[in-house]
Structure 1
C-alpha cells in the first residue's frame, strides 16, 4: 500500500489529522517515510546536501570547538552525542581531527542517535571502538560533553497555525484529494505564543515546533554538564514573525525543486520548516541551560579558523588538478551560501565557560548579510 493510501485510510477511520501528524507520517512512517527508507537523502542523487556531506572541513571546524569545550570541562571524560548522525560523515571528520589530540581522544566517547535502521551508524575501521549507536536520545546514558545536531530540528514535524478571529490550527482532510481545514487551536499551541510574548497579526500563518521544545527536555535529561551545539535554519522570534514571513517558512523539496505543495510525492519528498531559536533559548532556560551565544554559521566557521583549515587542505592537495578551484568553491558554499543562512546556537549547563572561540562574532539582526569583505573579519 502506498503511504498516501495509508494516510487516507487513517482520515476515513478517525477524521481529519493535524498537519503535524500528516507531516510525521510523510517523513517518519516506519516503512515508507522519507527519512526511514534505505536510500539516504543526503547522498549525491538525493534532494539536498549538508555541509558535512560536502567536505570534512566542516567537521574539522566543529572539532576545534569541541576541543575547546573539553578544555572548559577540565579535560575529563568527554562524550559527543550527535543526534541525527545519518551515515556518520560528520562523526568521521570530527574523530579524524580529534585523534590528533591524544589526551582528549583517550577520554572521548561518541554516540550517534539515528532512528533510520537502514542508515549505517558511524564510521568504519579503527573508529568503531569510539562510536556507540542509539535509536533515540532517551536511550543514551547521562553524560558530560556536548549534544550536537546539524540540520536536525528543521525536520521535526510541526503544527501549522493561522491567526483569524482566534488562533486556528491546520488539519488535513481528504475529499477527492487532500485539503486543509481549520480548527480552533488547543491550549498548548496558544500557550506557546503566550510564553514567547508573541502576538500574531491577523491572517498570519506560521509553524509551531513543539517537538523541538520536547527535545530540549530530553537533552536536559541526558546532559549532566556541558553544551548543546545546534546548527540549523531558523530565526529569532523578532525575525520569524515579520510581515515578510506571513505565509510561514514550510517548504517541500523533491529532486532539487522547491515548492509549497505538501500533498504530492508523499513519502518521497522532504518537508522542512525554519526553527524558532528564541523558543530553544526560552525552553532551554526552563530546563537549566544558559545561552552562550547565537550567530551565523559563516561567523562561527570564520571564528574557528576555517580559512586556515581550507588552506591546509589545499596545501596537502596542491598537486591535484582543480584543488584550488575546489577550495574556493568550498569557501563560497560554507560561508557565502549556506553559511549566510544557517545559524548556530550554543547553550551550556553546569556553569561551563561561555566565552567560546566559535562565538567571537555574534549575530546581530541589523547586520548586513555576509559579504566578501567580511572574510577578513577574523584575521
Structure 2
C-alpha cells in the first residue's frame, strides 16, 4: 500500500489530521516515510546537498572548533554526540581531521551518533569503522561531557501550522477526492509558544510552530553535563521569521533537487522542511540551563576558523589540473556564499567558563537579538 493511501485511510477512520501528524507520517512512517525509506536522499542522486557533501573542509572547520572546546574543558575525555548524521560524511571528516592533527584529542574521543533510521545507519556504518557508537536516544548515552552537534536536523522536525484569523487557528489535513486543508481552534500550547516569544501575528499571517524543537533542546540540556551545543541549520531570528514578507510561512519541499511548496504530492518521496527559529532555540535553551555563546552566519563561522587558508594549503599540497581548481572554486562559492549566508550556527554552553570561541569572532549579532 502507498503511504498516501495509508494516510487517507487514517483520515477516514479518525477524522482530519493536524498538519503536524501528516508531516510526521510523510517523513517518518516505518519503511515508507521519506527518512525511513531506502531511497537516496543526499547528494547528486538524491534530493538535496548538505555542506558536508560539498567538501571535507566543512568537517575540518567544525573539528577545529571542537578542538578549542576540548581545550576549554581542560582536555579531559570528550564526547561528540551528533544527531541525525545523514550519510556519515560529517562524522568521517571530523574524525579524519582530528586523527591527523590532534592525536591526544582523538585518543580521548568517543563519537556518538543518534540515528533512528535503520537505512541511514547502514549507510553510515559502511565508512565509519572506529571511535563511533550508535544510539536511539540521547538518554542512552552516559555522562556527556563534550559537544552535542546537529547539522540540518531541526528543519525536518514535524511542525504545527497556524493561521491568524479573528483568532489563531491550526491547519488540519482532510481528504475529499484529494487532500484539503481545514482550520480548527488551536490548543493552548501553541498560543503559549508565541506568547513566550512575545510574538503577535497580524491577521492573515501563516506560520509554523515547532514544539519538537522545544522538547529537543530541553532533552539536550538535561543530558549534557558539561560542554557545548552546536546547532547548524537554515532559519532566522524571530524578527525575520515573523516579518510580513514571511506571511505565507517557510515550508518547502525538495524532490530531485527541485523546490516546491506542496507537501501533498510525492508523499514519502520528497523532503519537507521549514526554517527554524533560532530565537526560540536560544530562549528555551536558557530556560533549561544552556547559556548562549552567540550566533553567526555559516560563512562567517567557516571563515573565522580559517577555511580559505585550509583549502589553499590542501590545493598546494595536492597539485591539480585547472578543471579541479575551477570545481573547488564552485564549491567555495556554494559553501560560503549560497549556503553560507542562508545557514546559521548557534552555539550554547553549560557548566563552562565563558571563553571566547574562534568560530564566533566574526559575528555581527549580539545575544540580545536572539531574544
The normalised TM-score by structure 1 is 0.93
- Alignment-derived partner of residue 73 in structure 1: 73
* Aligned counterparts of 2:356 and 2:197: Cα–Cα separation in 1: 26
CA contact (8 A) 1:92 1:122 kept: no
- Alignment-derived partner of residue 216 in structure 2: 215
Mapping of residues 276-295 of structure 1, within 5 Å: 276-295=277-296
* SS, match of residue 146 in structure 1: strand
* Aligned counterparts of 2:83 and 2:142: Cα–Cα separation in 1: 14
Q: CA deviation at 1:260?
A: 1.3
* Aligned counterparts of 1:141 and 1:178: Cα–Cα separation in 2: 44
- Alignment-derived partner of residue 369 in structure 2: none
- Alignment-derived partner of residue 194 in structure 2: 193
- Alignment-derived partner of residue 33 in structure 2: 33
* SS, match of residue 293 in structure 2: strand
Q: CA deviation at 1:136?
A: 2.6
CA contact (8 A) 2:145 2:224 kept: yes
Q: Does 1:242 align with 2:243?
A: yes
The runs of at least 4 consecutive aligned structure 1 residues that moved more than 6 Å come to none
Mapping of residues 253-264 of structure 1, within 5 Å: 253-264=254-265
Q: CA deviation at 1:353?
A: 3.2
* Aligned counterparts of 1:4 and 1:312: Cα–Cα separation in 2: 50
* Aligned counterparts of 1:136 and 1:276: Cα–Cα separation in 2: 23
Q: CA deviation at 1:334?
A: 1.1
- Alignment-derived partner of residue 50 in structure 2: 50
* Aligned counterparts of 1:30 and 1:144: Cα–Cα separation in 2: 33
Q: Does 1:224 align with 2:222?
A: no
CA contact (8 A) 2:72 2:355 kept: no
Q: CA deviation at 1:255?
A: 1.5
- Alignment-derived partner of residue 96 in structure 2: 96
Structure 2 unmatched runs, 5+: 367-371
* Aligned counterparts of 1:57 and 1:325: Cα–Cα separation in 2: 16
Q: Does 1:15 align with 2:49?
A: no
Q: CA deviation at 1:320?
A: 4.2
* Aligned counterparts of 1:64 and 1:42: Cα–Cα separation in 2: 25
- Alignment-derived partner of residue 181 in structure 2: 180
* Aligned counterparts of 2:123 and 2:352: Cα–Cα separation in 1: 32
Question: What are the Cα deviations for residues 311-367 of structure 1, in whole angstroms up to 9, with x where unaligned?
Answer: 1221132134523212211211111110011011000011343410000011449xx
Q: Does 1:148 align with 2:149?
A: yes
The normalised TM-score by structure 2 is 0.95
- Alignment-derived partner of residue 233 in structure 1: 234
Q: What root-mean-square deviation, in Å, do the aligned CA atoms of Structure 1 and Structure 2 show?
A: 1.4
Q: CA deviation at 1:138?
A: 3.1
* SS, match of residue 267 in structure 1: coil
- Alignment-derived partner of residue 370 in structure 1: none
CA contact (8 A) 1:144 1:226 kept: yes
CA contact (8 A) 2:25 2:33 kept: yes
CA contact (8 A) 2:251 2:275 kept: yes
- Alignment-derived partner of residue 165 in structure 1: 166
* Aligned counterparts of 2:364 and 2:37: Cα–Cα separation in 1: 37
CA contact (8 A) 2:72 2:352 kept: no
CA contact (8 A) 2:298 2:340 kept: yes
* Aligned counterparts of 2:215 and 2:326: Cα–Cα separation in 1: 43
- Alignment-derived partner of residue 346 in structure 2: 345
* SS, match of residue 48 in structure 1: coil
* Aligned counterparts of 2:355 and 2:16: Cα–Cα separation in 1: 46
- Alignment-derived partner of residue 319 in structure 2: 318
* Aligned counterparts of 2:241 and 2:272: Cα–Cα separation in 1: 18
- Alignment-derived partner of residue 368 in structure 1: none
Mapping of residues 123-138 of structure 1, within 5 Å: 128-138=129-139
